[in-house]
Chains A and B, each alone.
Chain A
Amino acid sequence: MIWIVKNLWLIPALPLFAAGIIAVNKQPARKLAATLAIGSLAVGFLLSLCAFSATLGHHGEGVFREVFSFPWIQFGGQWMDLGWVLDPLTAIMLVMVTFVGMLIFIFSVGYMAHDENFMRFFCFLALFAAGMLGVVIANNLFLFFVSWEIVGLTSYLLIGFWYHKPSAAAAAKKAFITTRIGDLGLLLGMVWLYAQTGTLNFYDGGHGCMESTQLVKMATQVTIGGFAVSTVVGFLIFLGAVGKSGQFPLHVWLPDAMEGPTPVSALIHAATMVAAGVFLVARVYPLMAQSPLLHGTMWLDTTPMLIIVTWVGAITAIFGASIAVAQNDIKRILAYSTVSQLGYMMMGLGVGGVAVGMFHLITHAFFKALLFLGSGSVIHGCHEEQDVRKMGGLKKYMPVTFAVYAVGMLALAGFPLFFSGFWSKDEILHSAHNWPVSHIPFLLGCTGALFTAFYMTRQVALVFFGNYRGHQQAGTPSAHAHSHASESSHDPHESPAVMTVPLVILAGFAILLGFVGTPAWPWFDGYLTGEEFKFDLSKLTEPGTLGLMIASAAIVFTGLGLGWFLYGKRPRKTVAEKDVLEAAQPFFYKVLENKYFIDEIYEGTVIRFNAFAAWLCDFADRWIFGGAVMLVKYITVGLAWLYRLTDEYFVNLGFDTGCEALRESGGGLSKLQTGRVQTYLRVIGVALVALIIFLIWGRKA
């Protein structure tokens, strides 16, 4: 076993230690906190590169995979092992997470410079990195789940970082609970998998639960509804991914999560954590791709679980993209865009396999981190303003931010040939086009791509073009708008280098990364699947590929053009004026602006039901169970009173009369026995006198 496999645990452990040290440090030591967090990720990045290089050069000889296990707990006389795995999937994620994470950490030094809880911020960030890297290296669904929940915790803590804002506290709670709904599915899937296979190790030299022996065993067993066990277990595990990756219908927490500081949105809610759900599906892909081996059913080319994954992804993709069209908060636009892109990744996994979905995951991580950090730079420059209607004309004030933002936007929109997003999205659409089950996901994906190009153009036009509207009072164009002298200090400003340098680096990767996964040189695909590939330019001009590329380019240009025509050519003048779409289609705009009223629907159903159940249980406790106890109590007390009454007025009455008579006669008698010597002497004296008189007078008589 090579040394890097043995020591892979160091990569998550380093940020964990960093978080621990920052947490127990009493003195305010901002530099130490930032250095520890960034340093631990930097070392982790170097180790990840070593791990990455170990997985290289195995094309054509199957997938490189080495595991390390150790015993953890014992029950029923058996040990449960935990462990980690190094394979291309792990390695590529390690490199991405440590690298993007490091850049975002550096950006945060500038972004959070004035925050009084700077240390705590870096403590949580480092803890997040530890959890996320744990998710990536885990070779065991249990260890995966532990890390996954730690990631969820840090997400909760960081969304609620500005806890004094009630909206942030509520958003944090919503995020934790919504993802936990999915996690309960994952938990059940996990225990079911454990019960069926007797192991939770993914790969274990042929005995792992993602290896064919166990998969076939599960695929031949029938359970509820006539499904194969493998399908149902896969579905339960997928629920976890739906929650974490913000897939419809559990997406509601992700846009609200934008209450957190912007670097958090970039790292956790765009690049890494939300992609963990996609990674989970990629990790258990053998289970998802296992056809049920039941009598009477035949599955060609695909499996029930992959069909579900595809549909959920496709619906989420179009759903998120359409909502993003009608949002006005710069971060919420990006959040819905993330929801939509995560849908694309899921769809990619469903229709094209691990390499297709993962390629989009990696490119998206870079350009979406870039966009979020860019929006952070914009927000920072505009004095914490997030409403795009109050921005405008920023390309003049923030040239570097504008340039990198434009790169990110073109990559996300999928501008042909030169940007990574084009290649990764094209690959998904290509696979969807060839999907044997249905053509609708492909059409949904294409429509989503059109929306994506449109809303990104709208956003960039509103933020960077036209005139700056930040000085206007809402409603009326300000009279002071032109008096620059008095307001220059409130003009937007470019961010410091500590923030812009990471942006430039990310922008570079947003362009370059596309070239490792083009049809002409499918390195990424070959790397993940371990299959042979070669450089072949002619692949680009094959009819199927070329036609689709042209079609998708046409879609992108349509979106860009439409966006520019509506928002760029005639820039918005005032903050208050109606959106162009709102003026044209007020009903549809209203529906999209309110996110299809999903939150309101949940508010009216799930949340109200929960409150009702709570009320009912409390009522039952107080009045039904408690009432029964009270009834018993009052019956007992009533009986006791009854006994007392009978005793006092019935039984005792006769008894008392008798007693009284006795007492009175006794009292009469007792007067004879006063115990006073004088009385006795007096009686004795009187008696003596009487006796003497009797004796004297009696004798005489």
Chain B
Amino acid sequence: MNHWLTILTLVPFIGGIVIAGLGADRKNLVCGLALATSLVGLGGALCLWLHFDTSQGGIQFSEQFDWVPSLGIQYFLGVDGLGLLMVLLTAIVTPLAILASWRMDDRPHVYHALILWLQAGLFGTFTALNFFHWFLFWELGLIPAFFLIKLWGGPKRGPAATQFFVYTMVGSVALLLSFLAIRLATGSFDFIELAGLAKSGVLTTKLQAAFGWKNIGLIVFFGAFLGFAVKVPLIPFHTWLPAAYSEAPSPVTMLLTGVMSKMGVYGFLRILLPIFPDQIRQVLTLLLWLAVATIVLSACAAFAQRDLKRIIAYSSINHLGYCLLALFAATAVATGVNNSDLQKAAALDGALLQMFNHGLTASALFLFVALLERRSGGLRGLDDFGGLRKIIPVFTGLMGISIFSSLGLPGLNGFVGEFLIFKGVFPLAPWAAAISTIGLLVTAIFLLTLIQRVFCGPLNARWAKMPDLTTAERFLVLPGIALMFVLGIWPQFILGAVDATVMKLVQQLNF
């Protein structure tokens, strides 16, 4: 038995405590230490990636101890392909966010400590396999994020932070209540054990027996569903997101969209799909339509925005909508579909790839907006610029690559995930897939409008002296851009790692 995952989670946690104790005066030391800590996290995640056995899809690097035996609470950690991918994404985005906030003058020690605690919360969430301490980490991620928005955000940060907190808190409470109900009925908090119970159909019967009510399964499901649907978010639980994303400081937005939004999808994959397959099937049509509405409506709403950060925020909702579409479609009972397991695996593989790609692309886009804001003194309206391509060609080129990655241009990373999702979803739910393509079209419209307004046309004389990317900034954005190309041309290096897990999940869902 090893302790790699515990150590991985503890490193940023302790790093955060140390940094908080350093005080605001030693800014360089604070930033340096924060970066070093996050790089250790990255190194650790890469080590896990290298030592991960891709041929088997089960839980690896597991740690399991009894914690509170009388309540069925264990300390149980482990990753499979899904968890590992999310750990890697967290480890990649965090150093970028720290680098992006390098010039932070306002209480840097608290700021960086909060970021590291957020990272610790995320690592914990993606590795925990027992509801009890999974939920601790889930909430631990929420609190630093709240303070980061509340203390360092834009002019309307107060309402945004409150909305963010209240929304996610309501979701969390519903989630907690649902799991307490399950705990009462089954006596277990263990995800894997619960999935086993669900597969054999015992879970629902036990719930019914414990509460004496036929529909209790569905109620419990909707409680848990609400917790994750808010986090992803799924329309109509999404209104906190544009406000939070646009008011949070851009590096924090990178973390919010890059990784925290994945917590919701992760929750769907790790918890809802295996534990509530019956209930999902009962309301599948509704869920599919919600996913389709998320995709189409958020894309349309993005087209109406005038703030760059709000545009990218809505496009984030749109992109994660495809993931949810794939997840829901993969639970369908597929009768009369050729090789339905393969289609489900394609959809889920696509969803995982899309999660990683979106984390990469969306955080890169917010990073570019942060760099643009630094040059424009905080202005980031769609109509504040114009013709920037002439004076900042390198910036334009690199942001252009990220934008095209976001709109799913083949050859860049975004496309492969979307292709696999459509490939899998189409045979399982043809109408949902067909209507969702509207989202692809509208995404292209608003992103190209963004390019047109900001970078093309005659140069806005106000910005005639705007500096192009400095060498340091180029090094900051290049890793992400390079990954976009690598993943676009050779996605196998991620698919190879997650495919076994996905196949296992598909087996789990088939009964």
Binding site for B on A (CB under 8 A): 72-78, 142, 145-147, 149-150, 153, 156, 160, 163-166, 168-170, 172-173, 176-177, 180-181, 184, 187-188, 191-192, 194-196, 198, 610-611, 613-618, 620-621, 625-626, 628-629, 633
Beyond A74-B499, A165-B457, A195-B426, list 20 extra A-B contacts (CB 8 Å): A74-B495, A75-B502, A76-B341, A149-B410, A150-B409, A150-B411, A164-B387, A164-B459, A166-B457, A177-B444, A187-B422, A195-B343, A610-B445, A613-B303, A614-B300, A614-B302, A617-B297, A617-B304, A621-B301, A629-B163
Q: Is B3 interfacial (CB-CB < 8 Å)?
A: no
- Nearest-neighbor residue (CB-CB) of A131 within chain B: B411
Known A-B contacts A75-B502, A77-B499, A610-B303; A146 and B426 likewise in contact (beta carbons under 8 Å): no
Task: Find out whether the CB atom of B452 lies under 8 angstroms from the CB atom of A169.
Answer: yes
Task: Find out whether the CB atom of A613 lies under 8 angstroms from the CB atom of B300.
Answer: yes
Overall SS of chain A's interface:
helix
Task: Find out whether the CB atom of A153 lies under 8 angstroms from the CB atom of B419.
Answer: no
Q: Is B181 interfacial (CB-CB < 8 Å)?
A: no
Task: Find out whether the CB atom of B304 lies under 8 angstroms from the CB atom of A615.
Answer: yes
Task: Find out whether the CB atom of B409 lies under 8 angstroms from the CB atom of A184.
Answer: no
Which of B338, B342, B409, B492 interacts with A149 by CB under 8 Å? B409
How far is B339's CA from A166's CA once the two chains are assembled, in angstroms? 50
Question: Chain B CB within 10 Å — which of A169, A170, A181, A628 has the most?
Answer: A169
User: Interface-forming stretch among B4-12, B124-132, B186-194, B236-244?
Assistant: B236-244
Q: Tell me how far the C-beta of B335 lies from the nearest C-beta in chain A, rounded to whole angstroms.
A: 15
With a cutoff of 8 Å between Cβ atoms, the chain A residues found around residue B422 in the complex are: 187-188, 191
Task: Find out whether the CB atom of B301 lies under 8 angstroms from the CB atom of A72.
Answer: no
14 of the cross-chain contacts (CB-CB < 8 Å) are: A74-B492, A76-B349, A77-B499, A149-B409, A163-B455, A169-B456, A177-B444, A187-B419, A196-B338, A614-B300, A614-B304, A617-B298, A618-B300, A633-B166
Q: Is B423 interfacial (CB-CB < 8 Å)?
A: yes
Q: Tell me how far the C-beta of B34 lies from the nearest C-beta in chain A, rounded to whole angstroms.
A: 32
With a cutoff of 8 Å between Cβ atoms, the chain B residues found around residue A166 in the complex are: 456-458
Task: Find out whether the CB atom of B387 lies under 8 angstroms from the CB atom of A626.
Answer: no
Task: Find out whether the CB atom of A621 lies under 8 angstroms from the CB atom of B452.
Answer: no
- Nearest-neighbor residue (CB-CB) of A156 within chain B: B448
How far is B147's CA from A638's CA once the two chains are assembled, in angstroms? 25
How far is B444's CA from A157's CA once the two chains are assembled, in angstroms? 14
Task: Find out whether the CB atom of A77 lies under 8 angstroms from the CB atom of B452.
Answer: no
Task: Find out whether the CB atom of A188 lies under 8 angstroms from the CB atom of B345.
Answer: no
Near A by CB (< 8 A), chain B positions 292-342 give: 297-298, 300-305, 337-339, 341-342
How far is B452's CA from A336's CA once the two chains are assembled, in angstroms? 26
Task: Find out whether the CB atom of B452 lies under 8 angstroms from the CB atom of A173.
Answer: yes
Q: Is B45 interfacial (CB-CB < 8 Å)?
A: no
How far is B379's CA from A593's CA once the two chains are assembled, in angstroms? 43
Q: Tell me how far the C-beta of A630 lies from the nearest C-beta in chain B, rounded to whole angstroms.
A: 9
- Nearest-neighbor residue (CB-CB) of B346 within chain A: A75
Task: Find out whether the CB atom of B499 lies under 8 angstroms from the CB atom of A614.
Answer: no
How far is B300's CA from A436's CA once the two chains are assembled, in angstroms? 46
Task: Find out whether the CB atom of A76 lies under 8 angstroms from the CB atom of B502.
Answer: yes
Q: Is B427 interfacial (CB-CB < 8 Å)?
A: yes
How far is B490's CA from A72's CA once the two chains are assembled, in angstroms? 8
Task: Find out whether the CB atom of B456 lies under 8 angstroms from the CB atom of A191.
Answer: no
Task: Find out whether the CB atom of A177 lies under 8 angstroms from the CB atom of B441.
Answer: yes
How far is B346's CA from A176's CA once the two chains are assembled, in angstroms? 28
Task: Find out whether the CB atom of B338 lies under 8 angstroms from the CB atom of A621.
Answer: no
Task: Find out whether the CB atom of A614 lies under 8 angstroms from the CB atom of B426.
Answer: no
Closest A-B pairs by Cβ, 10 of them: A76-B345, A618-B304, A169-B456, A146-B410, A617-B301, A614-B303, A195-B427, A614-B304, A617-B300, A163-B456
Task: Find out whether the CB atom of B411 lies under 8 angstroms from the CB atom of A191.
Answer: no
Task: Find out whether the CB atom of B448 lies under 8 angstroms from the CB atom of A73.
Answer: no
- Interface bits B408-448 vs A (CB < 8 Å: 1, else 0): 01110001100110110011000001100100111011001
How far is B302's CA from A614's CA once the two chains are assembled, in angstroms? 7
Which of B303, B456, B495, B503 interacts with A160 by CB under 8 Å? B456
Known A-B contacts A163-B389, A192-B426; A176 and B341 likewise in contact (beta carbons under 8 Å): no
With a cutoff of 8 Å between Cβ atoms, the chain B residues found around residue A180 in the complex are: 440-441, 444
Task: Find out whether the CB atom of B304 lies under 8 angstroms from the CB atom of A184.
Answer: no
Task: Find out whether the CB atom of A616 lies under 8 angstroms from the CB atom of B491.
Answer: no
With a cutoff of 8 Å between Cβ atoms, the chain B residues found around residue A146 in the complex are: 410-411, 415
Q: Tell me how far the C-beta of B82 lies from the nearest C-beta in chain A, rounded to whole angstroms.
A: 14
Known A-B contacts A163-B455, A618-B301; A625 and B239 likewise in contact (beta carbons under 8 Å): yes
Which of A149, A187, A610, A626 interacts with B239 by CB under 8 Å? A626
How far is B338's CA from A629's CA once the two chains are assembled, in angstroms? 44
With a cutoff of 8 Å between Cβ atoms, the chain A residues found around residue B457 in the complex are: 163-166, 169
With a cutoff of 8 Å between Cβ atoms, the chain B residues found around residue A614 in the complex are: 300-304
- Nearest-neighbor residue (CB-CB) of B342 within chain A: A76
Q: Tell me how far the C-beta of B19 lies from the nearest C-beta in chain A, rounded to whole angstroms.
A: 35
Q: Is B374 interfacial (CB-CB < 8 Å)?
A: no
Known A-B contacts A76-B503, A164-B458, A617-B304; A188 and B410 likewise in contact (beta carbons under 8 Å): no
With a cutoff of 8 Å between Cβ atoms, the chain B residues found around residue A78 in the complex are: 342
- Nearest-neighbor residue (CB-CB) of B410 within chain A: A146
Q: Is B496 interfacial (CB-CB < 8 Å)?
A: yes
Q: Is B449 interfacial (CB-CB < 8 Å)?
A: yes
Q: Tell me how far the C-beta of A263 lies from the nearest C-beta in chain B, rounded to whole angstroms.
A: 21
With a cutoff of 8 Å between Cβ atoms, the chain B residues found around residue A147 in the complex are: 410
Which of B166, B346, B416, B491 interacts with A76 by CB under 8 Å? B346
Task: Find out whether the CB atom of A198 lies under 8 angstroms from the CB atom of B410.
Answer: no
How far is B441's CA from A410's CA once the two chains are assembled, in angstroms? 41
Known A-B contacts A195-B427, A618-B301; A184 and B437 likewise in contact (beta carbons under 8 Å): yes
With a cutoff of 8 Å between Cβ atoms, the chain A residues found around residue B300 in the complex are: 610, 613-614, 616-618
How far is B441's CA from A613's CA once the two chains are assembled, in angstroms? 13
Q: Is B404 interfacial (CB-CB < 8 Å)?
A: yes
Which of B236, B456, B491 interacts with A73 by CB under 8 Å? B491
Task: Find out whether the CB atom of A621 lies under 8 angstroms from the CB atom of B239.
Answer: yes
Known A-B contacts A75-B502, A150-B411, A194-B423; A620 and B297 likewise in contact (beta carbons under 8 Å): yes
Q: Tell me how far the C-beta of B422 lies from the nearest C-beta in chain A, rounded to whole angstroms.
A: 5
With a cutoff of 8 Å between Cβ atoms, the chain B residues found around residue A617 in the complex are: 297-298, 300-301, 304
Known A-B contacts A150-B411, A164-B458, A166-B457; A184 and B345 likewise in contact (beta carbons under 8 Å): no
Q: Tell me how far the C-beta of A232 lies from the nearest C-beta in chain B, rounded to whole angstroms.
A: 11
With a cutoff of 8 Å between Cβ atoms, the chain A residues found around residue B389 in the complex are: 163
Q: Tell me how far the C-beta of B109 lies from the nearest C-beta in chain A, rounded to whole angstroms.
A: 33
Which of A76, A153, A169, A188 interacts with B434 by CB under 8 Å? A188
Near A by CB (< 8 A), chain B positions 65-85 give: none
With a cutoff of 8 Å between Cβ atoms, the chain A residues found around residue B502 in the complex are: 75-76
How far is B344's CA from A177's CA once the two chains are assembled, in angstroms? 30
Task: Find out whether the CB atom of A75 lies under 8 angstroms from the CB atom of B456.
Answer: no
Known A-B contacts A73-B416, A614-B304; A184 and B456 likewise in contact (beta carbons under 8 Å): no
- Interface bits B239-259 vs A (CB < 8 Å: 1, else 0): 110100000000000000000
With a cutoff of 8 Å between Cβ atoms, the chain B residues found around residue A184 in the complex are: 437, 440-441
- Nearest-neighbor residue (CB-CB) of B423 within chain A: A191
With a cutoff of 8 Å between Cβ atoms, the chain A residues found around residue B433 in the complex are: 188, 191
How far is B499's CA from A74's CA once the two chains are assembled, in angstroms? 7
With a cutoff of 8 Å between Cβ atoms, the chain B residues found around residue A150 in the complex are: 409-411
With a cutoff of 8 Å between Cβ atoms, the chain B residues found around residue A196 in the complex are: 338
How far is B403's CA from A173's CA once the two chains are assembled, in angstroms? 14
Known A-B contacts A160-B456, A164-B459; A72 and B297 likewise in contact (beta carbons under 8 Å): no
How far is B337's CA from A610's CA once the two chains are assembled, in angstroms? 35
With a cutoff of 8 Å between Cβ atoms, the chain B residues found around residue A156 in the complex are: 448
Q: Is B390 interfacial (CB-CB < 8 Å)?
A: yes
Q: Is B506 interfacial (CB-CB < 8 Å)?
A: yes
Known A-B contacts A163-B457, A615-B304; A72 and B492 likewise in contact (beta carbons under 8 Å): yes
With a cutoff of 8 Å between Cβ atoms, the chain B residues found around residue A198 in the complex are: 338-339, 342
Q: Tell me how far the C-beta of B115 lies from the nearest C-beta in chain A, rounded to whole angstroms.
A: 28
How far is B495's CA from A170's CA once the two chains are assembled, in angstroms? 38
How far is B433's CA from A140's CA once the two chains are assembled, in angstroms? 22
With a cutoff of 8 Å between Cβ atoms, the chain A residues found around residue B302 in the complex are: 614
With a cutoff of 8 Å between Cβ atoms, the chain A residues found around residue B456 in the complex are: 160, 163-164, 166, 168-169
Task: Find out whether the CB atom of B343 lies under 8 angstroms from the CB atom of A145.
Answer: no
Task: Find out whether the CB atom of B338 lies under 8 angstroms from the CB atom of A625.
Answer: no
With a cutoff of 8 Å between Cβ atoms, the chain A residues found around residue B346 in the complex are: 75-76
